[in-house]
Chain A
Amino acid sequence: MKTNSMIKMVSVLLGLIMLVTGCKINTEDKSTGQDKVITDDTAIDETQNDDEKESDKEQEKTIKEQVVNLYTDRHYDTDEALYNKFTEETGIQVNIVKGKSDELIERLVMEDADTHADLLITADAGRLHRAKTKGLLQTVENDALLKNVPVNLRDNDNQWFALTVRARVIVYAKDRIDPTELSTYADLTQEKWENRILVRSSTNIYNQSLLASFIAIGGEEKAKEWAKGIVGNMARKPQGNDRAQATAVVAGEGDLAIMNTYYIGKMLNSSDVEEVNVAEQVGIFFPDQDGQGTHINVSGMGLTKHSKHSENAIKLMKFLTGELAQEQYANANYEYPVNVNVEPSALLKSWGDFKAQDIDLSLLGEYNSKATRLFNEVDWQ
């Protein structure tokens, strides 16, 4: 009989906890809804008080804990080597949660002021902008950092900073296409490219940002026309990743592909001979050199609004945009460095200089949703 009453006690307790948290969830749901402005005032006051109370404690803790916590969607082993190097130099431990950027952003939203994350790193300017508009980041005015990252590769309010630059270019079959035939992204919608273009699906953020850049430059109507034209010229339904597009070009399924440059770098340095072969048979063409310039995107980082180890985080930001780390990104991952003091690697140079789109990269985020819709409307799968 005793065990019975024990169990009952425990379950009642559990039930109570669930009830209370259930209520909590409801109120939170509302406050993240549209009436945010009104309800948030009190919420902010509360958190501020809390923050003040906690800040003393937190400071004590920071002295003890030499750590910085990352949420990142970059999974490269080369990145991890850089973090280790940073720990070696500064004694600051780097803790990492890896995931997909959108999901990490959702997680930050939910954790709100209680988050343990100090730094958000993602592979797309659009995502960084989304994080900013959701109020997840804060401004960093650090001279060294501002010097490392040029103005066009960081947020207007310095809420995010680029780490590396990627270019989305045209990759063509060297044996079938004379690069003088190529000119602009818009040219790809011409009839002469019918059944010859390869590109991955529209769920991919690189394509979304590409189209978003066209919306930013020429408006929605033109962007839609472009997407429609590409769908009409596709050699096959979108499938596979960027590497798969290059492979399909060499296999003769199409004659050119829209893809990011660093994948060619990776394929040229692959452990698989046949992949190296493929990469050697394609050429890289930077479109729109006489016009708006080639579409670029960045992977970048932002200090979270509720960072508990912001000093350490800023140290890491400086380190990652510093010369040593930037060289590493270019040499091992074939991405373009953001730090002007760092030369691109020999391979990157061999592809030649190029003029990049000169738009505010935040627009990629602003027009992301529109771009996704346009893709759906023209049936780009």
Chain B
Amino acid sequence: MTRLRNLKANINIWWLLSTCFVCLIIIPNMSIFINIFNAPNDHFRHIQKYLLKNYLSNTTILMMGAGLLSIAIGVSLAWVVTMFDFPMKRFFRWALVLPLTIPTYIGAYTYHGLLNYTGLVQRFLRNQLGLQVNQVYFNMMSINGAIFIFTIFLYPYVFIITKSFLEKQSASLIETSRLLGKSHFVIFIKVILPICRGAIIGGTSLVVLEVLNDYGVANYYGIPTFSIAIFKTWFGMGDLDTVVKLSAILMLIIFVLLYVEKLLRGRKRYSYTTSKIQPLQPLKLNGWKKHLAMVVCILIFTLGFFIPLLQLIYWMAISYKNNVNIQVLKLSSTSFLVAFVTASIIIVIATIIANYSRISKGLLSKIYGRITVLGYSIPGAVIAIGVMIFFIGLDRTLYGVYTWFNPTTSKLILTTSIVMLIFAYIIRFLAIGFNPIESGFDKIGKTFHEASRVLGKRMTTTFFKVDMKMIQPAIISGFILIFVDVLKELPLTLLLRPFNFNTLATKTYEYANDEMIHEAAIPSLIIIGIGMLAMLILNKVSTKEVS
């Protein structure tokens, strides 16, 4: 009887906390969506007539293109790196994640900078070889160019998640298939793809959402997408009503995508069946296969990381004299600190909600799980406005409390502080932390949890003593992904930052936006440097986990 009561009390804590967090996520967005059902006005009809079709088709092409290519590259690389042994494999295991450290808009600038008329490639052809080339072949600024940019800098989402799944999950299945004499190809198609389905879809959905949300690349390359439409309506026409409608359409698309994702993931659950997690024994590749594996890895690494890096280093070399004055150290420490704090808070919240949604079977918990993804799918600027309205309201409510402490205080305390920005980051990136933790829980299943509960341990004790230990790798990889994302984040930071607050990303943006891309090289390189360090740690952790 006491046990039953304990159980109830415990569920309440998880439920209460989850509910609080979920409310905090919803409320700022509600203020935006509250007037969704207003009748369409003139602006909206105008957009419907002239633009909507184009926006939808461009956005769809970008999403499909980048999504499918990311699956092709991400999954095959994950497969090669986990199943086989070849020279430099240890390096590629983490190096292939590095493109993620380059913000897509920086990637877009570097590739255009490299390939355009004044870029290194054409300059070499023109000045050294005396060739005048047709610009068409070097034009990045098309929808194909944008698909390339999104794919080459975002495929690591698919790669990381699929790789870590393969490393920990599939040993027995794959080794059995090998024993039965199946070829690599057959194993890939018949075993790997089906069991990785959840991981692949999880990774791809991150890619697709990132594409949906993009502003920088589409704007620079001149591709009218849905995000651009939202910005254009809001700031060009100043019409919040229509923005809300467009956002609603976007949300609808996203919900359909997420629903399809759920359908695709299916109801199958693959969790450990024994307490012994057996790592997979990689096969040694020989002959041409060895070379092919290496060439593919080198090619992707070069395109997604090495070339942009070199381009940025070159820009830094020609511009560093102009901007040695920027306080690089201060920028870096601010960025680092903000990313660290945000990632820590998100991990705590994500773990709580994920755990609640795992132990409770109700519909509510499933809805909670979906809501955490909400922030990632709404354009940054929309979140920013919602959060700002919320905080200004909060400040006005709390004004009495403020004056109690300090009679001469101004009204906007939270709104002008870093709290608002971090709050917005949390809404935005909760999904990035939630996804790996949720799939971490998925993977360990409930066997151990239930065993512990049957043995009389309380829920909370079980959580800290059993579950936490097992999902540690998921927590760490979630943390690092959030960290890197916050480091790169732009629209929220631009809009919600307090006075005199600069991050590496905002500094990069300021230079790039003022068409001073050379000067943007130094802060970009530091973003990449810190990101690399984070990925190195991630690699250390996951290697330890496997061996």
- Mind listing 7 A-B residue pairs with CB under 8 Å? A102-B238, A111-B412, A130-B238, A240-B141, A243-B515, A247-B116, A263-B515
B407 at the A/B interface (Cβ < 8 Å)? yes
For B388, give its contact among A69, A98, A107, A130 (CB under 8 Å). Answer: A107
* 4 residue pairs, one from A and one from B, having the closest CB atoms: A102-B235, A239-B222, A75-B510, A251-B117
| CB–CB B224/A381 < 8 A | yes
Is B222 touching A238 in the complex (CB atoms < 8 A)? yes
Given A99-B495, A110-B388, A243-B515; 20 other pairs, CB 8 A cutoff: A1-B9, A7-B17, A61-B408, A95-B500, A97-B501, A100-B235, A103-B495, A114-B395, A116-B499, A203-B228, A203-B236, A239-B141, A239-B142, A241-B220, A251-B116, A251-B117, A272-B318, A369-B238, A376-B47, A381-B222
CA A237 to CA B219, docked complex, whole Å = 13
CB contact under 8 A between A77 and B325, given known A239-B221, A263-B515:
yes
Partner of B416, one of A29, A100, A116: A116
In the complex the two chains form, what is the Cα distance from A253 to B500 in whole Å?
42
A192 at the interface (CB under 8 A from B): no
Q: A21-B394, A75-B513, A243-B515 are in contact. Are A252 and B135 (CB under 8 A)?
A: yes
| A372: Cβ under 8 A from any B Cβ | yes
What A residues does B394 contact at CB under 8 A? Answer: 17, 21
A97 / chain B contacts, CB cutoff of 8 Å = 497-501
For chain A, give the interface size range. 35 or more
Query: Considering the chains assembled together, what is the distance between the CA atoms of A81 and B397 in angstroms?
Result: 39
Looking at the assembled complex, report how far the CB atom of B22 sits from the nearest CB atom of chain A, in whole angstroms: 11
Chain B nearest CB, measured from A206 CB (Å): 12
Report how far A272 CA is from B521 CA in the complex, Å.
13
Does A20 sit within 8 A of B, measured CB to CB? yes
B415 at the interface (CB under 8 A from A): yes
Check A17–B397 contact: CB distance below 8 A. yes
Asked if B370 lies at the interface with its beta carbon under 8 angstroms from chain A, I say no
Contact A75 B514, CB 8 Å, known A18-B27, A247-B117, A247-B118: yes
A residues bordering B, Cβ < 8 Å?
Answer: 1, 4, 7-8, 11, 14-15, 17-18, 20-22, 24-26, 28-29, 57, 60-61, 69, 75-77, 95-100, 102-103, 106-107, 110-111, 114-116, 130, 200-201, 203, 208, 237-244, 247-248, 250-253, 263, 266, 270-272, 274-275, 277-278, 308, 368-369, 372-373, 376-377, 379, 381
Q: CB distance B397 to A240 under 8 Å?
A: no
Write out the residue numbers on chain B whose beta carbons fall within 8 Å of the beta carbon of A379.
50
Chain B residues touching A, range = 35 or more
Residue in chain A with minimal CB distance to B221: A239
User: Cβ of B219: which chain A residues have Cβ within 8 Å of it?
Assistant: 203
Chain A: minimal CB distance from B480 (Å)? 28
Q: Is the CB of B118 within 8 A of A277?
A: yes
Knowing A7-B17, A97-B498, A239-B141 are in contact, say whether A271-B392 is a contact too (CB < 8 A).
Answer: no
A18 touches B385 (CB 8 A): no
Inter-chain contact A110/B494, CB cutoff 8 Å: no
Q: Which residues of B contact A98 (CB under 8 A)?
A: 494, 502, 506, 510
CB distance from A335 to the nearest CB of B (A): 12
Within 8 A of A (CB), among B405-439: 407-408, 410-412, 415-416
